[in-house]
Amino acid sequence: MGLTIEQMKLSPNARHGAEWVRARHPQIVFTSGRRDVLDQSRVMAENTVRYGRTWLVRTYKPSPLIDTLHGWLQSRPDAVDAKTITNGFYECLLACHSGQLTTLSRHLTGDAWDAAWPGDTEGEKIVKDIQIHMPVEYGLDKLIDREGGLRLIHAQFKPSVEI
């Protein structure tokens, strides 16, 4: 089923990028847009359970924040379920200042969206189309088709402000 572009609550650049992709590839299924800190914690926890306790350090750029989250996880070998890990990650993130959080994920500012991987041939076609044809003014900053073992389309945009 997926999310509508409105449900994703995206920044202007990310919204324009999503609208552009939807117009060219109506079959795309958006799965994530703007997240709050609790939702970001939940997503990271679920992926940690699904893909292993090193998922964070394999997926995110090294940073003091990732070190803190990974350190919390490593110091609690009994934390094996998504709910416990979500709560731990959430507490760690709440202790951060907003400047640190914005470096963690562009989802926290609405400057990124994810879409389900539609299959090898179709997914490759969509990614290549985005790379080659998306208008520069939308500010596409990063496009990946794999995140820590998970196949997806992750599009990240330069921050934009709606006036």
pLDDT exceeding 90 applies to what percent of the chain? 86
Give the domain extent around 130.
Answer: 12-35+110-157
Distances (CA, A) of 114 to 18, 47, 86: 10, 14, 20
> Which residue type is seen at 146?
R
If asked whether residues 83 and 121 sit together in one domain, one would say no
Range of weakest confidence among 20-29, 34-43, 55-64, 74-83 = 55-64
CA distance 102 to 93: 11
Q: Residue 98 has what pLDDT?
A: 78
CA distance 14 to 8: 10
Residue with tokens 């990124």: 112
Residue 106 has pLDDT above 90, yes or no: yes
Contact 25, 124 (CB under 8 A): no
Whether residue 83 is contained in a domain is answered as yes
If asked whether residues 127 and 72 sit together in one domain, one would say no
Taking residues 29-42, what's their average pLDDT?
A: 97
CA atoms within 13 A on the CB side of 44: 30
Tell me the H-state helices in 26-157: 37-51, 55-59, 64-74, 82-94, 98-104, 120-133
Contact 37, 90 (CB under 8 A): yes
Taking residues 89-96, what's their average pLDDT?
A: 95
If asked whether residues 31 and 41 sit together in one domain, one would say no
User: For the chain, what is the domain count?
Assistant: 2
State the DSSP string of 39-74: HHHHHHHHHHHHH-TTHHHHHSPP-HHHHHHHHHHH
If asked whether residues 31 and 49 sit together in one domain, one would say no
